[in-house]
Structure 1
């Protein structure tokens, strides 16, 4: 394989800068790119990866984009991608740990703590939710198409995504590339995740408008019960609040593929994973779930009587 000349990288970088300055690369209606590229180079085994990991380990975050115009595929898409993202996050944490161990000469190093470990003690419903390991932003895209759908179905999607975002301690925003206002607000959330900039104080929970809900601004009491008037919530066999909302949502929007209906075996009920202390905590969570289901059912019935 021929060796690249030492000028090649610089030529590529110069050409990229020249292209961007002239605004010749355009997309989505002619708007020039505003992205930035950083070249990391140096001596072989000179510590490039270690420095990069050290710089990025505290700013690692995930952005999940869900197509609001395809509600039947929405839950399965979110579930699959979040599971994969969690797997990759754990791999990233493990890699950082290995680097630290090598740098420490094999000495025990402090573990890398996921973002969920440092949620404020007064975070809404802290004991009932399952925070994502690192900061998470959920974006509902194609709002321009979504707002043309049936109003009742929009409420189901909006309310469910509010719950999903709150359950994972994530921020939620609906957007459309056809709206400069919404894209501006979306960029604010991006900047907050990437650079720690102020994310703004705007909060919108009105289902007739684009949702804008920063993490920690919502609660289960504000979200209410799962939005389905023809399902007896107490009769559903759910492992946790997330599973309960999934079953109700898929009752309204059946998955496009039957494979999406397959459920993973609950390891908590597998005899080979018996752990007394953990099982006791699980039993307590199960009791909390049953109470949540009863409260949700009462709330739903109350709303039904008022209508």
Structure 2
């Protein structure tokens, strides 16, 4: 199989890890290393990095994610020296950098790919818009890559032989609740509601609406759902269990909690539309909303109570050249000097133009 030259820094990093792990496998008798890819995205400043570091048992200080960052986790398999690898991608900037999903979602990773969507429960007025845009961008890219792989497979072996690549549609068990009524996300999806320590102080009716809405969305996409807080050790342990299931294939806990007065813990397949019920409304006439489908109905009810902010306006990203965590004294001093020279040139140029006697 011809080796594909990586085109980006992130792909080079992933290729380097894969190369090292292949070497480890050869030293352990040729047993293959299990590799999975997990893509974390969600609310801006919603705690993605903090949650990831806690799930990896790392004590590194949490720093804002500038764009798209790559790291990896390894876990020993039993008593063997062989270690399974999880390639971890984290998207910063909330929805402003959603175009970058094309980097982690690649032909080489789609067969073992999963997504974690982290939503800031303390900011319900940005929750639906963030969730909708990020899920749409990721699903579009997954379906695009899947289609390209299937076309390549057909052209290689012929249409009569079909395709062996993974399509962008999960096959659920026949006894999956509401199987005919839902639209499963193309790959395993985990929705995490972060900052529960703040959310638990909300008005009970508003907590109920947020909780039931996220239960509906999770069940509709055949996803798992959990509410957590980095300030709660017990909630982080449960969150780590869900994370390890996606990253390393471990068994996730069987705990289920659907009480809106408590942190939600809803594994895939443990909920149903009959348990969720209809959108909780007090002053909203559902019949007046003219919804196209159940998901649209939930959206309209939610946005009546929590009018959504325009997430497209949140495009302000700090200049990496001025970020203290990337300080380089010599380079920064040279940059400052060049900035001064550029400003002086602009002033001189303006004076020159003003001094010209232009003919009319």
Regarding TM over 0.5, the answer is: yes
**In the alignment, which residue of structure 2 is the partner of 1:77?**
130
2:61 paired residue among 27, 31, 51: 27
The Cα RMSD (Å) is 3.2
Distance, in Å, in 2 between the alignment partners of 1:119 and 1:126 is: 7
Higher strand share: 2
Report 1:224-263 matches (<5 A).
224-257=277-310
Distance, in Å, in 1 between the alignment partners of 2:154 and 2:168 is: 21
1:153 aligns with 2:206: yes
Distance, in Å, in 1 between the alignment partners of 2:213 and 2:58 is: 41
Displacement, 1:38? Answer: 8.1
Aligned length: 225
Of 217-226 and 96-105, the range deviating more from structure 2: 96-105
Could you tell me which runs of 5 or more consecutive residues in structure 2 were left unpaired when the two chains were aligned.
1-15, 21-56, 64-70, 75-84, 88-105, 314-360
**Do the aligned partners of 1:115 and 1:135 also contact (CA within 8 Å) in 2?**
no
**In the alignment, which residue of structure 1 is the partner of 2:271?**
218
Report 1:14-93 matches (<5 A).
26-28=60-62, 35-36=73-74, 53=107, 56-93=109-146
1:164 aligns with 2:217: yes
**Do the aligned partners of 2:110 and 2:142 also contact (CA within 8 Å) in 1?**
no
Distance, in Å, in 2 between the alignment partners of 1:224 and 1:133 is: 25
Report the TM-score when normalising by structure 1.
Answer: 0.65
Higher helix share: 1
Report the TM-score when normalising by structure 2.
Answer: 0.56
Distance, in Å, in 1 between the alignment partners of 2:115 and 2:297 is: 24
Displacement, 1:97? Answer: 3.0
Distance, in Å, in 2 between the alignment partners of 1:258 and 1:53 is: 29
Partner SS for 1:64: strand
Q: Deviations over 1:52-96 (max 9, x none)?
A: 956x44321111111100001000011000100111111331343
1:131 paired residue among 160, 181, 184: 184
Could you tell me which runs of 5 or more consecutive residues in structure 1 were left unpaired when the two chains were aligned.
1-8, 14-22, 40-51, 261-307
Q: Deviations over 1:85-123 (max 9, x none)?
A: 111111331343355457648985416454744112221
